[in-house]
Every structure is written in C-alpha cells, then in structure tokens.
Amino acid sequence: MIETGKMDDGKFRLSCSLYELVEIWSMRNSEVELVYIDENGKQQERNGIITNVYSRDGLEQLVLDNELIIPTKNLITVNDVQFRDYMK
C-alpha cells in the first residue's frame, strides 16, 4: 500500500451524507475523480475506484484502487462534490 504520509493527528469525521456518498461509489465500483491534498500540502488529482473506506484511531480513510490511502479530511472534491469546507 502507498500511503499519503503522516498527516496531522487531529481527529476528523465526514458528515453522514458525504460518508454515504463515498460508500455508494465504493459499492458500485464506480470510477471517481478525486481532488485531494497530499502529505506535502499540494493539491493532487486522481481517477480510480474507491476500494475501501474505514476509520482507524479516529481518522477516516479512503483507499483508491487498493493502493492509495487518503485521509477523508484531505479530500477537496469527489466527482465535483465539495468535501472541503462543505459547511461554509
């Protein structure tokens, strides 16, 4: 597995509706377009299939194509759905 590196240890949880969207894309094996912040603070884009979503030590994580692990707090958009600052 390729991880995005150690991020801030702060706990974070997606809203239920956003988490459910991620789960639906995963269950359908639908290719998604992700925009996220990597461990260096740089914006990245990647297409792939969400193969897992889980929480470990209070940090929710998304696995793309069984190789890239992205903390959900680093997601900006998934399929043009806003994940970052969605409450603003």
Q: What pTM was computed for the model?
A: 0.80
pLDDT per position as a tens digit, 17-38: 888 999 999 999 999 999 999 9
- Integer Cα distance of 29 and 87 in angstroms: 28
* pLDDT at residue 7 is higher than 50: no
Contact 50, 70 (CB under 8 A): no
Looking from the CA of 40 toward its CB, the CA atoms found within 13 Å total 3
Q: How confident is the model over 59-71, as pLDDT tens digits?
A: 889 999 999 999 9
For residues 44 and 78, the answer to whether their CB atoms sit within 8 Å is: no
CA distance 53 to 24: 11
For residue 59, which amino acid is it? L
Note the pLDDT of residue 51. 96
